Amino acid sequence: MKVRVRNIKNILYVSVFIMAGFFSMSLQAADCGEPPEFVYKLPDGSGASAEDMQDARDRLMGYSEKVDGFITCMDQRGTLLKTYMTKEQQDRWEDDLNALHNQRRDYQLAFNEVIRTFRRAQKVG
């Protein structure tokens, strides 16, 4: 009976050790912070000034750099954590990063359309 209790204690100690390691890696993953958000409204290209367009471009470029940094950080953290994740968790991890990348691309494409509208308005005016 003592052997069985001893084995159970060993299993518990190992489990606690593994969970502590996983928890510390989870805290490291938290260093990436929250995903960046683009909280600005793109200007209306037909009535925007050149300064408005430059300001929007600068904000979008800053947002894009933050997204790149966040994705890079999460990729680095993922190499540590993915071995402890289920397949579903790994898929969700990738889906979340892909959604952030796609959202950035959508903002960039929308701004490209704003630029086209701005240039057309400049030719007419």
Q: Which residues contact 75 (CB under 8 A, 6 or more apart)?
A: 97
Query: Which pTM value belongs to this model?
Result: 0.71
Query: What does the pLDDT look like over 23-60, one tens digit per residue?
Result: 544 444 458 999 999 999 999 999 999 999 999 999 99
- Rounded mean pLDDT of 106-118? 97
How would you class 66 by CB atoms within 10 Å of its CB: exposed for 0-12, middle for 13-18, buried for 19 or more?
middle
